[in-house]
């Protein structure tokens, strides 16, 4: 990726201009033309490096979500993954190196709808779902710093985490209409808010005011360019899970959230005996060895070596898109074609990550694949 593309993607993942001509504002800051900015974003979107230009919503302000997993026989994995993808509530769906090998995130407007989807997946797959709702968040999405594969400062993360932990907001019908249309992203045209407003029969000023209000109230976490880190070279995607005593997990979570290389950090419930872990961190790197080295460094420097830990690298992406909490006003985007992640230096069956080395180094329950 060239320096110009890098600058565009790294600078405008947050604080996207809320003005009639946002791409003109970006062009002025970069020293580009508006046409050049739009052309670059369309190209990067076509290349899969940009998911969309739009909003990231605060998970617990608009509805409910959960992380779920299935232990799928290898011969059925693709079929079950595609069945899971039939639900618009599923926004992320990955294969990971573990006995629980299919991991997906669901979001819905109500808890009853979320549980209905999980129950339906169990019935149609014939498999038990591991349901791991978020209990406490220590670091949440503020964008992906392409310089280091990291994120914004921990102070900013802490402020946002407090806001995101507030009660669910009851949206007005106007806000529901605007946010539903925004979920797939803004159109890449000179006046995107005007185009969005026209599709809804609203004024451009009304759309801008509602988005400004959403940012102030905290149900929109950020507005900007949403990148796909794997397509930008950060293809070693690790979910690091820890078994931390309940009395210590909050303090450990806050400590890890402040560390470089930790992109997301949450507490979720254990599901004994199948799943003993209660602290989850997402870490990314260009190479698997780089991620493992950073994990080991954290274990030693932060006195975490005594806590059971396991690392689940993703090996295939079946879906990756933004969360949809509201009924869409347009059809949701097509599913990403599943393909193994090509990570340098990683072998295994069919070129997939096996996680055997991982098990030897980190797992204490013998469950990694």
Q: What is the mean pLDDT of residues 311-315?
A: 97
Shortest CA distance to 12 belongs to which of 34, 27, 31, 33? 27
Q: What is the pTM of this model?
A: 0.72
CB-CB neighbours of 153 under 10 Å? 12
Write the CA distances from 15 to 59, 111, 224, integer angstroms. Answer: 19, 31, 6
Q: Looking at residue 155, what is its pLDDT?
A: 39
* Segment 244-269, tens digit of pLDDT: 999 999 999 999 999 988 988 999 99
Judge whether residue 365 has pLDDT over 90.
no
* Segment 177-230, tens digit of pLDDT: 999 899 899 999 999 999 999 999 999 999 999 999 999 998 898 999 999 877
Judge whether residue 132 has pLDDT over 60.
yes
**Using CA atoms, how far apart are residues 252 and 356, in angstroms rounded to an integer?**
27
Write the CA distances from 298 to 138, 178, 225, 260, 273, integer angstroms. Answer: 16, 42, 30, 10, 27
**Using CA atoms, how far apart are residues 284 and 341, in angstroms rounded to an integer?**
13
Write the CA distances from 358 to 52, 95, 143, 289, 292, integer angstroms. Answer: 33, 16, 28, 10, 8
Judge whether residue 346 has pLDDT over 80.
no
368 or 228: which carries more pLDDT confidence? 228
Q: Looking at residue 303, what is its pLDDT?
A: 96
Q: What is the mean pLDDT of residues 334-358?
A: 34
The mean of the pLDDT values for the chain is 83
Query: What are residue 96's DSSP bridge partners?
Result: 314
């Amino acid at each position: 990726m060239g320096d110009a593309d890098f600058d565009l993607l790294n600078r405008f993942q947050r604080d996207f201009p809320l003005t009639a001509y946002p791409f003109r504002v970006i062009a002025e800051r970069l020293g580009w033309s508006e046409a050049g900015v739009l052309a670059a974003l369309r190209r990067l979107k076509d290349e899969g490096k940009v998911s969309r230009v739009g909003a990231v919503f605060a998970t617990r302000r608009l509805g409910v979500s959960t992380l779920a997993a299935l232990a799928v026989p290898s011969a059925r994995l693709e079929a079950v993954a595609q069945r899971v993808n039939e639900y618009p509530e599923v926004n992320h769906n990955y294969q990971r190196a573990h006995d629980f090998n299919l991991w997906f995130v669901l979001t819905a407007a109500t808890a009853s709808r979320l549980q209905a989807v999980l129950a339906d997946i169990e019935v149609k797959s014939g498999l038990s779902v591991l349901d791991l709702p978020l209990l406490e968040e220590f670091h949440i999405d503020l964008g992906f710093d392409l310089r280091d594969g990291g994120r914004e400062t921990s102070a900013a993360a802490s402020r946002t985490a407090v806001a995101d932990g507030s009660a669910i907001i009851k949206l007005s019908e106007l806000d529901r209409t605007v946010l539903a249309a925004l979920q797939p992203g803004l159109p890449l045209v000179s006046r995107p808010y005007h185009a969005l407003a026209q599709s809804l029969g609203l004024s451009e000023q009304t759309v801008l005011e509602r988005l400004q209000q959403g940012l102030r109230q905290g149900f929109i976490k950020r507005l900007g360019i949403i990148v796909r880190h794997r397509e930008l070279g950060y293809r070693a995607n690790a979910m690091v899970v820890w078994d931390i005593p309940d009395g210590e997990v909050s303090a450990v979570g806050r400590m890890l959230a402040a560390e470089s290389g930790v992109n997301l950090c949450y507490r979720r419930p254990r599901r004994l005996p199948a799943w003993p872990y209660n602290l989850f961190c997402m870490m990314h790197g260009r190479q698997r060895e780089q991620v493992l080295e950073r994990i080991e460094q954290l274990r030693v420097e932060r006195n975490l070596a005594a806590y059971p830990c396991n690392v689940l690298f993703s090996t295939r992406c079946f879906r990756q898109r933004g969360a949809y909490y509201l009924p869409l006003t347009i059809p949701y985007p097509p599913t990403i074609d599943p393909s193994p992640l090509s990570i340098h230096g990683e072998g295994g069956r069919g070129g997939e990550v096996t996680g055997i080395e991982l098990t030897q180094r980190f797992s204490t329950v013998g469950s990694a694949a």
